[in-house]
Amino acid sequence: MRKPFVAGNWKMNTDSHSSVALAEGVVSSSEKLAGHKVDVAVIPPFVYLQPVSKALSSSRVALGSQDIYFEQKGAFTGEVSAAMLKDVGCTYALCGHSERRHVIGETDELINKKVAAAIAGGLLPILCVGELIEQRKADQTAEVVMRQLKAGLEGLSDEKLPAVTIAYEPVWAIGTGLTATPEQAQEVHALIRALLADMYSTKLAEETCIQYGGSVKPGNAAELMAQSDVDGFLVGGASLKVDDFVAIIQAA
């Protein structure tokens, strides 16, 4: 039985005051609500990880980073290592978010190194995959998602797969208000699980958490969650409002 997992990716939003206020709001409302039935994480900008970590301490809301670098230390200006992220209290690290793939230009090969470095450093990677609108229109969704998944997990052993969460985020649904229909989400989630079964085993595939992301809101979370292969959410915009984020956790 997979435990639902809801994470809020704050992207390049909040400031030193509002990041802490948002974290405190999530802690107080979500603890009352979901008990221990849903895993919850918040993913603030790097510069606010430490104050947010303090605000989350002694709560069951976990901390995640929006990115990670694969080297351990050294002359990599602007980059942040797994050890640094662990040091400030991170449990999770996003790898290959669509904005890093398509705005910053990250490749599958780089993302694969990040997934491996996160696990080696004791973090739990959330590997993001998803197709562009032109790829969906050209009927290439399965091909793109399978390529990203295979490349992202390249070289990862059976023992390490349980550390990984997969987030399916169709790029055309991110920040656009267009959500994949429950059927569209289920179709790709089932495909991802089938590929994991092929690459690893049915048992490991069944145990892997696959989140959906892309304009998730309180109003659409329950119907998405009702799909058999949707195990939770990676939430952008709606995670910046305590009430909306908590309503999504409740739906999960």
Binding site for ligand 13P (CB under 6 A): 9, 97, 169, 174-175, 213-216, 234-238
Q: Give SS3 for 198.
A: helix
Residue nearest to ligand 13P (CB): 236
Task: Examine the residue annotation and report whether 36 is marked as an active-site residue of this protein.
Answer: no
Distance of CA 180 to the CA centre of its chain: 17
Residues 6+ apart with CB under 8 A from 120: 82
| 229/244 with CB nearer ligand 13P | 244
Give the residues across from 212 on adjacent strands: 168, 233
Task: Examine the residue annotation and report whether 134 is marked as an active-site residue of this protein.
Answer: no
The CB-side HSE value for 69 (13 A sphere, CA atoms) comes to: 13
| 35/177 with CB nearer ligand 13P | 177
Q: Quote the tokens at residue 223.
A: 């119907």
**Least Å from the CB of residue 169 to ligand 13P:** 5
**Least Å from the CB of residue 126 to ligand 13P:** 9
**Least Å from the CB of residue 148 to ligand 13P:** 15
Residue among 16, 12, 82, 7 at smallest CA distance from 41: 7
| 82/224 with CB nearer ligand 13P | 224
Identified catalytic residue from 109, 169, 183, 207: 169
Give the residues across from 213 on adjacent strands: 234
> Hey, which residues are catalytic here?
97, 169
